[in-house]
A and B are shown apart, each in its own frame.
Chain A
Amino acid sequence: MPKITIDGQEVEAEAGTTVIRAARDAGIHIPHYCWHPRLSVAGNCRMCLVEVEGVPKLLTSCTTEIRDGMVVNTKNDTVKQAQRGVLEFLLLNHPLDCPICDKAGECKLQDQYFKYSAEDSRLETRKVHKPKNLDIGKHIVLDQERCVLCTRCVRFMDEVAHEPVLGIIERGDTSKLTVFPEKGLNNRYSLNTTDICPVGALTSKEFRFKKRVWFLNHEQSVCPNCSTGCPVILDHEDRKLYRMMPGQKDGEQAWLCDPGRLGFGFVHENDRPRAPLMRNSDGKLEPRTWEAAIKDVTRQMSDFVSKFGKNAVAGIYSNWSSNEEIFAFTHLITQTLGANLITSHNPRIGLVNSGPADELQIKEDKCPNSRGADVIGKSRPGGLSDFHQIIQDAHAGKIKAMWILDPDFMGRIPDKSGQKRIREALKKVKFLVIQAPLEREANSLANAILPCGTWAESEGTFVNEEGRIQYFKAAFPPVGQGKPSLEIIRLAATATGKPLPYATPYDTFRTLAGVVPEFKGLDYSDLMPEGALLGSGQTVAVPVTESAEDAVASPA
């Protein structure tokens, strides 16, 4: 591999690597606007000029491939002067409307001007003005004045989204970014252009004027709206989620689909259950304290088991539950409460419909943890009970009590007749516990509603379609008195006098990893920063000496 020297530091990289990439991999930042690691090279912003010894002119580091023995300077006076020059040119006709620009605080023009120039403007004549506040798509507003014409968005639409609708028209300093006539920037990946826009030229309508970005807190998470499980950052403040931004994938900023990243409205629905509710003797739901509700729920469930037997009580989790919740819930239902029936509700319908699958990222399965629910279920000796059998038994009046962990148990049933059948089955259940974060139809049939957190309010892991176990953090606590699902399960176990041998999501995951072979050898630290594939923790095949059932019964 060729070796080059950048700012006195020896750097080795594959032949064909450009200087900017080699520098970046070595931790040396070369300022740039048009270059993007996941797009083709345009070389137009001229910000990444560096000096290569033996070459009279400065070279753009984004277009220059490394050669063995090359000596590169990115910080000497000639380079600094060129950087100041380019920044001055970029800011020359820029409107400097930072106080009302959504990008302020995360704008590369602001940041790099501050870092590499910070000089006063020398323009003493009128700036070139261009149209602002242009509605160019369903989610996108364009400000042509702020645009630095780097063409990242143009290349994104050409090369990634494969719907070339953006282009630069006119020339010289009246050049403008625009959307093609009769077209709109309505692609399902359009909001990525706002992420890669280094300035505030392309901004999101949904986030427009909502928040100064420096007030936002950032939490690592996973997009819950399809089984791709894109890494996201939850940007939130004061218990409010403002936007989902791309996290890191393969070491670079991920692409997100618009419906996925915008699909967090359910977190802030007004009618979410805010306290545990129990049906009183009149059949009305009434708020209870957690202590009372948990005591009542666990007592009744235990009573149904002892009165009608193990096969009269069922627990149903879903592909919206985290691995930790599934594991602990299974323990609660089968070990603590002693019921026999445990199953998973895994329709492909989620809370948000991002539309048909495509070849880029959007999957048909709109749920975040179908794979995890499947793998953990299969790891049980004898597997899971049959979901449809349970519904049929409920219909026949054989299931007396049921505990469901699903944000929208009935809404996620694909067809009306199926929904009707489920409704009738649930009506026959004498004691129905719905543990859900949202107010949905199934709640109306419940004898107890235990309000839990959405994924944004919980900590845990999901397994995406490719089998990657990904960690997500709670951005803030659940609304009202709601609690994270895992906490509710833990309280329930404690209330029976048989507390779970693990408390935190971290402990739960470690215990799970000791039992479910695909998770073996992993803990949360192995999932940072981009998750780990199922089975990747097993360095040596560990013979299973005790049955998984035993392990669950007596976790280490």
Chain B
Amino acid sequence: MAENVRIVTEHFEHEDLHMLEGYRRLGGYEALKKVLSNWEPEAVIEEVKKANLRGRGGAGFSAGLKWSFVPKGLAKPKYLCVNADEGEPGTFKDKLLMERCPHRLMEGIVIASYAVGIKHAYIYIRGEFVTQAITVQKAVDEAYANNLLGENILGSKFSLEVTVHRGAGAYICGEETGLISSLEGCKGQPKLKPPFPAVEGAFGCPTVVNNVETLCFVPWIINRGADEFLKYGSEKNPGTRMFCISGHVNTPGVFELPMGTPVRELIYTYGGGIPGDKKLKAVIPGGASAPWLTPDQIDVGADFDQLRAAGSMGGSGGIIVMDETVCAVKAVTRITKFFAHESCGQCTPCREGTDWAYKIFYRILQGKGTEYDLKLLENVCNGMVGKTICVLADAAAGPILCVIKKFRSDFDRYLSAGFEPEKPSLVDLAQLSHGEGRQVTEPEPSHQQNA
């Protein structure tokens, strides 16, 4: 296997890669030319299918397969939604791809749209990504100005409109149907599936939702061929992916590495090891939703299938490293708070369960918890897992169940008789905006006498 092949970060050392001129000079838009001049759309789908390009947003579903689910010969328009709502805690790769090489994304968008027969693509970009949205918009403008978007792209019969749409700051809009709801102008809430977006998505029309990173792989696969792509990565997980290494490591950052790179290497080789040579306590291998790995598990290869087998998930590639000083209870409390804040509130178990779990953790951290609270937390989590429209509830419950199981002893301190809560604690500070003492709308005086 070749060392450190770079696909989506290819030429990142070039300062002008984000400009059309730079990208073109370094071979950009060649794949698009090739496709538009002599590839049938089906051939593009077949090639991407053959490359087994798996979605880098989190689910790891085959992109080519997703494209092939879109019904053919319908009178309705079809849409591509580019999921640039990168919000998974510990993940910051799409941000980089959009900053450094927006034209690679653009090229991927045009090729994917050509393959599926899409005439309008939306880039749904996270609200907080202001500069990235500007960069992407500039790239879109450049592409329009140079016949890479718009009518009859590169003189072909294919035309495509691209719209950059900024989100308003909701994690749940990174869920594909939540994204579609938001794009449609509705409240960002996931929709019931079926119908799946490929059949009935944005504005009731067949829709493909692809992650930024996923689409950035497409030009390379076209240029070099699926067989070349298959040479990298691990079994059934070909190619590379962007690993975002953060937390207690010496050299945090984004690394494009072959799929299946062992977690140990991610921490100690690419992450540069743990500062002060402290011991590893836990690592989250796929963003905050992923259950944690313990030090004995880190020889697992970081790909979708191996991490799943290890009881976690590949997710969005966010590797969060925690050293021995970390209190698992506090850490998972912070994660739980995040999910309670981001629950869209649609499904009962998630709406009520995420915040309840946070309140229980808060009580524990206050030294008011009991042994029974752990049982209760498990109950609450089991009441959420698999019982909601989208998987946010599962994402919230996974880390909690994992911590109770794997870091049970971290609770002891808080449950012991003489425990005095530290002040001000992380959690106390957090109270200012959310949770137990969170802002509640008190009834106005006139409302108090009646029910």
Seen from chain A, the residues whose Cβ lies within 8 Å of a Cβ on chain B are 41-47, 49, 56-58, 63, 82, 85-86, 88-90, 92-93, 97, 100-101, 122-126, 128-134, 143, 148-149, 167-168, 170-175, 209
Residues from chain A with a CB closer than 8 A to the CB of B446 are 133
Is B404's beta carbon under 8 Å from chain A? Answer: no
| A407–chain B nearest beta-carbon distance, Å | 36
Is B346's beta carbon under 8 Å from chain A? Answer: yes
Task: Determine the distance from Cα of A158 to Cα of B307 in the docked complex, in whole angstroms.
Answer: 45
Given contacts A44-B389, A46-B349, A90-B348, 17 further A-B contacts (CB under 8 A): A41-B192, A44-B346, A45-B347, A82-B387, A86-B348, A88-B383, A89-B356, A92-B356, A124-B363, A128-B355, A129-B443, A132-B450, A149-B346, A170-B345, A175-B345, A175-B351, A209-B450
| A145–chain B nearest beta-carbon distance, Å | 9
Is B137's beta carbon under 8 Å from chain A? Answer: no
B187 contacts which of A41, A128, A143, A167 (Cβ < 8 Å)?
Answer: A167
Q: A172-B341, A173-B345, A173-B352 are in contact. Are A133 and B383 (CB under 8 A)?
A: no
Question: Which listed segment binds A: B102-110, B274-282, B434-442?
Answer: B434-442
Are A131 and B441 in contact, with the CB atoms below 8 A?
Answer: yes
Total CB contacts across the A-B interface at under 8 A: 122
Are B441 and A129 in contact, with the CB atoms below 8 A?
Answer: yes
Are A171 and B356 in contact, with the CB atoms below 8 A?
Answer: no
B451 contacts which of A45, A89, A100 (Cβ < 8 Å)?
Answer: A100
| A112–chain B nearest beta-carbon distance, Å | 12
| A104–chain B nearest beta-carbon distance, Å | 10
Are B359 and A46 in contact, with the CB atoms below 8 A?
Answer: no
Residues from chain A with a CB closer than 8 A to the CB of B440 are 128-130, 174
Residues from chain A with a CB closer than 8 A to the CB of B360 are 125
| B324–chain A nearest beta-carbon distance, Å | 31
Are A143 and B451 in contact, with the CB atoms below 8 A?
Answer: yes
Interface core residue of A42, A86, A130 (most chain B CB under 10 Å): A86
Across chains A and B, which 6 residue pairs bring their CB atoms closest together, nearest first? Answer: A85-B383, A175-B345, A89-B352, A100-B451, A172-B343, A171-B345
Are A44 and B349 in contact, with the CB atoms below 8 A?
Answer: no
Residues from chain B with a CB closer than 8 A to the CB of A175 are 345-346, 351
Is B160's beta carbon under 8 Å from chain A? Answer: no
Are A44 and B436 in contact, with the CB atoms below 8 A?
Answer: no
Task: Determine the distance from Cα of A93 to Cα of B355 in the docked complex, in whole angstroms.
Answer: 10
Is B183's beta carbon under 8 Å from chain A? Answer: no
Residues from chain A with a CB closer than 8 A to the CB of B442 are 129
Residues from chain B with a CB closer than 8 A to the CB of A57 are 386-387
Residues from chain A with a CB closer than 8 A to the CB of B68 are none
| A74–chain B nearest beta-carbon distance, Å | 15
Task: Determine the distance from Cα of A170 to Cα of B187 in the docked complex, in whole angstroms.
Answer: 9
Are B451 and A93 in contact, with the CB atoms below 8 A?
Answer: no
Residues from chain B with a CB closer than 8 A to the CB of A44 are 346-348, 389
Task: Determine the distance from Cα of A125 to Cα of B358 in the docked complex, in whole angstroms.
Answer: 11
Q: A49-B387, A143-B451, A171-B344 are in contact. Are A132 and B443 (CB under 8 A)?
A: yes
Chain B contacts with A in 359-389, Cβ cutoff 8 A: 359-360, 362-363, 376, 379, 382-383, 386-389
Are B376 and A122 in contact, with the CB atoms below 8 A?
Answer: yes
Residues from chain B with a CB closer than 8 A to the CB of A209 are 450
Are B351 and A173 in contact, with the CB atoms below 8 A?
Answer: yes
Seen from chain B, the residues whose Cβ lies within 8 Å of a Cβ on chain A are 170, 172, 187, 192, 340-349, 351-356, 359-360, 362-363, 376, 379, 382-383, 386-389, 436, 440-444, 446-447, 450-451
Are A130 and B348 in contact, with the CB atoms below 8 A?
Answer: no
Residues from chain A with a CB closer than 8 A to the CB of B450 are 100, 132-133, 209
Residues from chain B with a CB closer than 8 A to the CB of A128 are 355, 440
Task: Determine the distance from Cα of A197 to Cα of B341 in the docked complex, in whole angstroms.
Answer: 27
Residue of chain B at shortest CB distance from A47: B348
Are A90 and B352 in contact, with the CB atoms below 8 A?
Answer: yes
Q: A46-B348, A89-B352 are in contact. Are A130 and B441 (CB under 8 A)?
A: yes
Residue of chain B at shortest CB distance from A151: B346
Q: A125-B363, A168-B345 are in contact. Are A133 and B386 (CB under 8 A)?
A: no
| B355–chain A nearest beta-carbon distance, Å | 4
Task: Determine the distance from Cα of A171 to Cα of B188 in the docked complex, in whole angstroms.
Answer: 10
A132 contacts which of B341, B345, B362, B447 (Cβ < 8 Å)?
Answer: B447
The 10 sampled A-B contact pairs (Cβ below 8 Å) are A43-B389, A45-B348, A82-B383, A89-B356, A101-B451, A133-B450, A149-B346, A149-B348, A172-B354, A175-B346
Are B451 and A133 in contact, with the CB atoms below 8 A?
Answer: yes
Residues from chain B with a CB closer than 8 A to the CB of A90 are 348, 352
Task: Determine the distance from Cα of A130 to Cα of B356 in the docked complex, in whole angstroms.
Answer: 16
Residues from chain A with a CB closer than 8 A to the CB of B436 are 125-126
Residues from chain A with a CB closer than 8 A to the CB of B356 are 89, 92, 123
Task: Determine the distance from Cα of A42 to Cα of B345 in the docked complex, in whole angstroms.
Answer: 13
Q: A131-B441, A131-B447 are in contact. Are A58 and B349 (CB under 8 A)?
A: no
A92 contacts which of B192, B344, B352 (Cβ < 8 Å)?
Answer: B352
Task: Determine the distance from Cα of A365 to Cα of B187 in the docked complex, in whole angstroms.
Answer: 41
Residues from chain B with a CB closer than 8 A to the CB of A131 are 441, 443-444, 447
Residues from chain A with a CB closer than 8 A to the CB of B389 are 43-44
